[in-house]
Amino acid sequence: MDGQGDRAWCSTCASEFRRGGEGGLLWVRREDEAPTERPGKELARAVESSGHPERSRRYEVGKDPEGSSAGQDPDAAPVERSAAVRVRKATVEEPIRARGETLGFYECLGEEEEGVLELTRDGLLLRASGQQKVKNEIPETSVSWQCKMLEIGAIQTSSSSVQIAPRSGGLVHFKFIHDSPKRWEELLQRSVRRAYLEGELGEIAEFQPRVVAKKDPATGATVAVPADPAEEENPGGGRWAEAGKGKEESLFTWYGFLRLLAKALVRLGVRLEVVDLENVPASGAFILVANHQSVLDPIIVQSVCPRPLHTFTKSTQFSSRLLRWVLVRVNGIPTRRYRVDPQVVRIALRRLEAGLGVGIYPEGERSWDGTLQPFRQGTVRFLLKAGVPIVPCGLDGSYDVWPRWSRRVRRRRVRLRFGKPIRWAALRTRRERDAALPRATEALREALLEVGAWNGDSGEVQEG
């Protein structure tokens, strides 16, 4: 789909979409049909039910992003899709230090360059601008970056970009000029899954924070159970370990001031309804688990929660000095979403040992259509390890205020409901946690649905 602002249209079937009305209504007009309105959450179903081919005419096999014919190397795999992109690469990570400890690391992105990203059956190719294929000749210098399907270590998306983490290290950030990053994420996942099945490496369990299957793509051997950071002893250090159990951080700090400021802004821009706030424990360690519909969710949750929360936050947000200053003072815990990050687990366990509250969004990223997404396996394992009360928190309506595919914020009603704490005994070994993983995932999903998270129409529980 192509789009601008709150309007979008399909270049294949000529359907038009726009947001409008109370509660994020979706206005839909198809060719030779009268316009209809339906809830905005039905966007995915409206597109899927159109019955038209997946591929847009703009991106046909063997054509560049402008649709003109391009020469093909007879020895190369045919191009399945291509798109104009702006690329930045990260090979260096900088530490984030505050309050006497290293909180984590954030990736330093290099200078931006433009090019054409090509998806073939074998892998990804990046051709620098002005070096596209001409007359069936592909100079050696035309490919500025490439990665085989089995060399892709992780795939993640943001609102306008896709990040690829090669198994050899580093991170490559693709910002799409005309195409959809969500569509590219799905295409890449499908291609990687196909490569694993053809190589008899097994089904892929998850793509983030790493691509995990039954066998290792480099050796073909059965993957050994990876080391679990939660198995490690938690070293002391930092003021949180010294705080002692049960000692709560005062709200009369920068956290308290920023919380009051956020609360005023939320009340000004959102018609907020809070239900069952008394379910948040008055003292002691706990983990608040919420669904993730909008970038506003952490702001809304932390402005309402009566106790300070130490929330998992993606590391890229710490690259801005101003945002880093704010995130450190609202207890953000930086996590690199494209790799397993033991530092995050250790820091979170220290906070819990000090009797504090930790906030987690188990989907790992914002939903594209408002529905509850599959959970990250590592997050559920962490919950099983922690052995503290888990408070489910359901957000309903924040997707209509600011979905990740829109640049506009609208004033809508948001309902925030806190469920009764779930109490799981702490499981000390990786074997115990793996055995309990399916049952715990199902229970956590049901708890979030009960407090207001939206599941779409299927009612299926997808394994993460």
The answer to whether residue 457 is domain-embedded is no
Q: At what angle do helices 297-304 and 254-269 cross, to 10 degrees?
A: 110
Q: Tell me: the pLDDT tens digits for 385-417?
A: 999 999 999 999 898 888 887 777 888 899 999
What phi and psi values does residue 116 have, to the nearest 5 degrees? -120, 120
pLDDT at 303: 95
Residue 100 has pLDDT above 70, yes or no: yes
- Cα dihedral 31, 35, 41, 45, rounded to 10, equals -30
Q: At what angle do helices 321-329 and 254-269 cross, to 10 degrees?
A: 100
**Domain CATH code at residue 144:** 2.30.29.30
User: For residues 124 and 118, is the Cβ–Cβ distance under 8 A?
Assistant: yes
List the one residue out of 421, 157, 85, 99 whose CA is nearest residue 277: 421
37 and 122 assigned to the same domain: no
DSSP designation for 227: P
115 and 244 assigned to the same domain: no
The two three-digit tokens of residue 175, written as one number: 């910002």
Residue 444 has pLDDT above 60, yes or no: yes
pLDDT at 166: 94
79 and 41 assigned to the same domain: no
26 and 128 assigned to the same domain: no
2-4, strands of its sheet edge to edge? 2-4, 7-9, 16-20, 25-29, 36-39
Whether residue 308 is preceded by a cis peptide bond, meaning omega within 30 degrees of 0, is: no
pLDDT at 228: 52
pLDDT at 57: 34
The answer to whether residue 341 is domain-embedded is yes
The two three-digit tokens of residue 365, written as one number: 């990223």
The answer to whether residue 217 is domain-embedded is no
Q: Position 365: which residue type?
A: E
pLDDT at 180: 82
List the one residue out of 42, 54, 43, 67 whose CA is nearest residue 12: 54
Residue 461 banded pLDDT, cuts 50, 70, 90: very low
Residue 99 has pLDDT above 80, yes or no: no
The two three-digit tokens of residue 21, written as one number: 């009305």
236 and 300 assigned to the same domain: yes
Q: Tell me: the pLDDT tens digits for 82-97?
A: 999 999 999 888 999 8
- Give the strand pairing for 286-290 and 390-396: parallel
User: What is the span of the domain harbouring residue 441?
Assistant: 229-450
Residue 41 has pLDDT above 90, yes or no: no
Of 14-23, 151-160, 427-436, the range with the lowest mean pLDDT is 14-23
**Of 32 and 402, the one with more pLDDT:** 402
pLDDT at 423: 95
pLDDT at 20: 57
94 and 37 assigned to the same domain: no
Sequential DSSP letters for 23-68: TTEEEEE-TTS--EEEEGGGHHHHHHTT---SS-GGG-TTB-TTS-
pLDDT at 13: 67
The answer to whether residue 6 is domain-embedded is yes
pTM: 0.79
- Cα dihedral 164, 1, 81, 140, rounded to 10, equals -70
426 and 384 assigned to the same domain: yes
**Of 119 and 36, the one with more pLDDT:** 119
pLDDT at 73: 52
Residue 59 has pLDDT above 70, yes or no: no
- Beta partners for residue 29, in sequence order: 16
Mean pLDDT across 337-342: 85
pLDDT at 38: 64
Number of domains in the chain: 3
Residue 28 has pLDDT above 60, yes or no: yes
**Of 228 and 384, the one with more pLDDT:** 384
% of residues, the chain, pLDDT over 90: 45
pLDDT at 301: 97
93 and 10 assigned to the same domain: no
The answer to whether residue 382 is domain-embedded is yes
Residue 69 has pLDDT above 60, yes or no: no
The answer to whether residue 80 is domain-embedded is yes
- CA angle in degrees (0–180, nearest 5) for 359-364-370: 100
User: For residues 245 and 354, is the Cβ–Cβ distance under 8 A?
Assistant: yes
Residue 188 has pLDDT above 90, yes or no: yes
Residue 2 banded pLDDT, cuts 50, 70, 90: low
Of 125-134, 188-197, 259-268, the range with the lowest mean pLDDT is 125-134
6 and 66 assigned to the same domain: no
**Rg value, the chain, Cα:** 23
Give residue 436's Cα distance to chain centre.
24
Sequential DSSP letters for 257-288: HHHHHHHHHHHHH-EEEEE-GGGS-SSS-EEE
- Cβ-based neighbour number of residue 4 at 10 Å: 8
Average pLDDT over the chain, rounded to an integer: 80
The answer to whether residue 181 is domain-embedded is yes
328 and 442 assigned to the same domain: yes
Mean pLDDT across 320-341: 91
Place of tokens 């880093």: 324
Place of tokens 């409206």: 46
pLDDT at 52: 41
CA distance to 65, 123, 245, 286, 388, per residue, from 147 (Å) = 20, 6, 48, 42, 42
Burial, 21: exposed, middle or buried (Cβ in 10 Å; 0-12, 13-18, 19+)? middle
pLDDT at 5: 57
CA distance to 171, 172, 338, 413, per residue, from 162 (Å) = 10, 8, 11, 31
The two three-digit tokens of residue 426, written as one number: 């702490």
In a 13 Å sphere around the CA of 227, the CA atoms on its Cβ side amount to 6
pLDDT at 53: 40
Whether residue 181 is preceded by a cis peptide bond, meaning omega within 30 degrees of 0, is: no
The answer to whether residue 203 is domain-embedded is no
The two three-digit tokens of residue 207, written as one number: 């793509």
414 and 393 assigned to the same domain: yes
| CA distance linking residue 378 with residue 337, whole number of Å | 11
pLDDT at 18: 67
- Cβ-based neighbour number of residue 251 at 10 Å: 13
149 and 101 assigned to the same domain: yes
CA distance to 76, 119, 278, per residue, from 72 (Å) = 8, 14, 65
**Domain CATH code at residue 272:** 3.40.1130.10
Buried-exposed string 291-321: b where 16+ CB fall within 10 A, e elsewhere: bbbbbbbbbbbbbbbebbbbbbbbbbebeee
User: For residues 163 and 151, is the Cβ–Cβ distance under 8 A?
Assistant: no
